[in-house]
């Protein structure tokens, strides 16, 4: 069965209902398009479990500040649908902004709360309100059993899981590990902005994270120092933040901390803002 491309809420509902027939899980993968192998992995994981797989392709204006890259964000719907077709996706929902926001900017929005003000939220005020509002809408429109999100956007994943828990959305949220190029660079639609020299500089992000992980048995301060040393050695990377935080509260961990933590980085390389993160397990010393 080939992939159905639908653009309206009505056609989306009809397509899912047609496929729903004998039951089985409906899985959704939400994207902003310009699909790459990271998105492909989410689809793959969804396909392995779900009877019906829906991919949404929507560049959500609500989560971009006026100064950000909404207007230049890559738009590649044709190849996105081809990727979905190759992965056996049932339905691609690619609505216009008017279809998602028929009355313009919604008056009622989801507020991310305090976790939304940290890390990415500190650099991008209001970003997570925009993300959670569209995720809530797309959950309501697709009514999935399972929704898949990437660890690549760890804070987004955490906030979506919190929203689903705090507001009782009847959906399971599943996390998919970050897919990287062989040299370590985390795949991102924004990597298409990088020049060859930007790309070399961008490798310092993942190298810093891996250098941090290599010190996880030595303690939090050593992890931070090792990661900073790599970033400091790359002058063309403008660091926004490097943080070693509790994965549930996003609070910085102290040097005595043990167990799971998240080492997260955001930096500007040329005109491109990139983020990455890795899980760290701080050991008892
Ligand atoms: P985006 O289109 O960038 O909004 O991403 C859509 C979904 O794909 C989100 O859940 C992302 O976390 C996930 N994703 C993006 N890049 C990667 C990657 N390199 N590995 C795994 N998941 C990813």
Q: Is 179 in the pocket of ligand 1 (CB under 6 A)?
A: yes
Q: What pLDDT score does 25 carry? A: 96
What count of Cα atoms within 13 Å lies in the side-chain half-sphere of residue 196?
0
Strand arrangement, sheet containing 4-6 = 4-6, 91-93, 52-57, 26-31, 146-150, 172-176
Residue 265 has pLDDT above 80, yes or no: yes
- Read off the pLDDT band of 22 (50, 70, 90): low
- Which residues of 70-125 form beta strands (DSSP E)? 91-93
Q: In terms of pLDDT, which residue wins out, 53 or 285? A: 53
pLDDT tens-digit profile of 109-155?
Answer: 999 999 999 999 999 999 999 999 999 999 999 999 999 999 999 99
Atom 17, ligand 1: residue with shortest CA distance? 38
pLDDT in tens, 93-113: 999 999 999 999 999 999 999
Average pLDDT, the chain: 97
Please tell me if the CB atom of residue 137 comes closer than 6 angstroms to any atom of ligand 1.
no
pTM over 0.95: yes
């Amino acid at each position: 069965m080939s992939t159905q491309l639908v653009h309206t809420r009505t056609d989306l509902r009809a397509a899912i209902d047609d496929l729903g027939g004998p039951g089985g899980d409906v899985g959704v993968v939400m994207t902003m398009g310009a699909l790459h192998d990271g998105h492909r992995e989410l689809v793959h994981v969804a396909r392995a479990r779900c009877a019906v797989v829906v991919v949404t392709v929507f560049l959500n204006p609500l989560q971009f500040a006026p100064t950000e890259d909404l207007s230049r964000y890559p738009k590649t719907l044709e190849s996105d649908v081809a990727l979905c077709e190759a992965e056996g996706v049932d339905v691609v929902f690619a609505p216009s902004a008017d279809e998602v926001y028929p009355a313009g900017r919604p008056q009622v929005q989801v507020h991310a709360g305090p976790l939304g003000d940290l890390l990415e939220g500190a650099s991008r005020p209001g970003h997570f309100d925009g993300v959670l509002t569209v995720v809530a809408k797309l959950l309501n429109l697709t009514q999935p059993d399972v929704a898949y999100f990437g660890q690549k956007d760890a804070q987004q994943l955490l906030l979506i899981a919190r929203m689903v828990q705090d507001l009782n959305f009847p959906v399971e949220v599943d996390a998919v590990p970050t897919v990287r190029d062989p040299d370590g660079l985390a795949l991102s639609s924004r990597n298409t902005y990088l020049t060859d020299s930007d790309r070399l500089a961008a490798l310092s992000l993942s190298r810093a994270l891996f250098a941090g992980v290599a010190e996880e048995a030595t303690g939090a301060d050593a992890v931070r120092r090792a990661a900073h040393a790599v970033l400091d050695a790359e002058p063309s990377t403008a660091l926004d933040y490097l943080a070693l935080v509790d994965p549930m509260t996003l609070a910085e961990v102290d040097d005595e901390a043990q167990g799971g933590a998240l080492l997260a980085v955001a930096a500007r390389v040329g005109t491109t803002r990139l983020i990455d993160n890795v899980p760290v397990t701080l050991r008892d010393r």
